[in-house]
Amino acid sequence: MNEQWNAFIQTQKFSASILDDNALSLCSLNQLGILAVSGSDAATFLQGQTTCDINLLEDNTTQLGAYCNAKGRTITSFVIIKKSDNIFHLILSVDLIETVKKKLQMYIMRSDVTLTNQSETHCILGLYNYPAETQANLYPYLTEDKRCLFIADTQTCQQFFSDLTLNKSVQLISPNAWCGLDILAGIPWLNVSTTELFVPQMISLDTLGAVSFEKGCYTGQEVVARTHYLGKNKRVMLIGSCSAKVVIPSACPITEQADKNTIIGTVISSSQQEKSTLLLVVLKEQPTTAKNLQLNNEHYDEITLI
């Protein structure tokens, strides 16, 4: 993250949770970064590497997608923005950008494609309850009506942040609070702890519209398609909560009280709220009412599915 932006953000006070669900809220999404894919072959290149149909993207709109390895395991989930016919922005966990860039670079060959990590020059702001309007650098947040993204260079983001907080009543929220909204929406963000653990269907990317089964070949497509058409995916992504007072790390194992030695699931993400911690989890199968789920952590915190 840009040092200038980091210094500016450190002067602000952010709430760890949303105190007023109807208030205009602003968040600096420091956990996310931007990988720019540009060049005359950018669209064709991405079409052959990602799960979503690049040819159906409209300018300045957002689409959820994924990038898989040859075995169909999801390296990263992302939000893609088509800036123009030759420029696309992939928004993903900042700790995966260099890994994804390196893997994609191997497939460029002689194509006119340039990959640029813009995380040091650009910032991403999350807006909640922001009036829907056409504005430079403003993008819808997938299909959600109440959220959008402001993405620009550091100086522009700082000016937008300052103007908004000066002229409007704004609730500043932390990435933890934004993550809570993502969990409730069932949006899975992978990071270095959870990369390459799941095929897209295990984290519901197919039901979220992030996977096209008509677009043709892409890296990992054979496994993803087989899982879809043969119905072999037995894992399920669910929303839960626990009373843990400590941060729950991504990839924290899940067991059941009757058998603490058998791992039956994994935490994808967590968000501490005032009275509980929200969890996005993947289980090996749809749980029965007889199973009492718990985190495989120091306190074996009990999980309640929502």
Domain limit, last residue, from 185, 215, 249:
185
Q: From 127, 151, 185, give the residue that closes a domain.
A: 185
- 65 domain-assigned: yes
Q: What's the predicted TM-score (pTM) here?
A: 0.94
Residue 12 belongs to some domain of the structure: yes
CB 229 within 8 A of CB 244: no
What percent of the chain clears pLDDT 90, i.e. is strictly above it? 83
In a shared domain, residues 295 and 180: no
Quick one: 47 and 124 in the same domain? Answer: yes
Strand partners, 223: none
pLDDT tens track for 4-16:
888 899 999 999 9
**Ordered DSSP codes for 194-217:** TTTS--GGGGTTTTTT---SSS--
The stretch 198-220 carries a mean pLDDT of: 96
pLDDT at residue 59 tops 80: yes
Is there a single domain that holds both residue 149 and residue 241?
no
**226 in a domain, yes or no?**
no
CATH no. for residue 258?
A: 2.40.30.110
Looking at the predicted structure, is the pLDDT value of residue 290 above 80?
no
Q: Is residue 190 part of a domain?
A: no
- State the number of CA atoms in the 13 A half-sphere of 168 facing the CB: 16
Are 173 and 243 found together in one domain?
Answer: no
Examine residue 103 and state whether it is found in any structural domain, yes or no.
Answer: yes
- Any domain includes 218: no
Q: Are residues 169 and 27 in the same domain?
A: yes
Alpha-carbon distances of 234 from 167, 198, 209, rounded to whole Å: 50, 12, 19
Per-residue burial over 87-109, b = 16 or more CB atoms within 10 Å of its CB, e = otherwise: bbbbbbbbebbebbbebbeeebe
Q: Which residue has the tokens 């990590």?
A: 117
**The total number of structural domains that make up the chain:** 2
Q: Domain check: are 19 and 154 in the same one? A: yes
Which comes out higher in pLDDT, residue 233 or 158?
A: 158
3-state secondary structure of 170: coil
Domain residues for the domain of 264 are 234-306
φ and ψ at residue 277, rounded to 5 degrees: -120, 125
Alpha-carbon gap, residue 260 to 274, rounded angstroms: 28
Mean local confidence (pLDDT), 32-37 = 98
* Residues 59 and 173 occupy one common structural domain: yes
Give the span between the Cα atoms of 183 and 255, in whole angstroms: 20
Question: How far apart are alpha carbons 81 and 223 in whole angstroms?
Answer: 26
8 and 102 fall within a common domain: yes
- Report the sign of the C-alpha dihedral through residues 202, 220, 109, 37, in that order: negative
The answer on 135 and 69 residing in a single domain is yes
CATH, residue 77: 3.30.70.1400
Residue 130 in this model has a pLDDT that exceeds 80: yes
* Same domain, yes or no: 76 and 137: yes
Strand pairing report for 277-283 and 265-272:
antiparallel
Asked if residue 256 and residue 157 are part of one domain, the reply reads no
Residue 174: the pLDDT is: 96
Distance CA 228, CA 208 (A): 14
Q: Based on the domain organization, do 262 and 140 belong to the same domain?
A: no
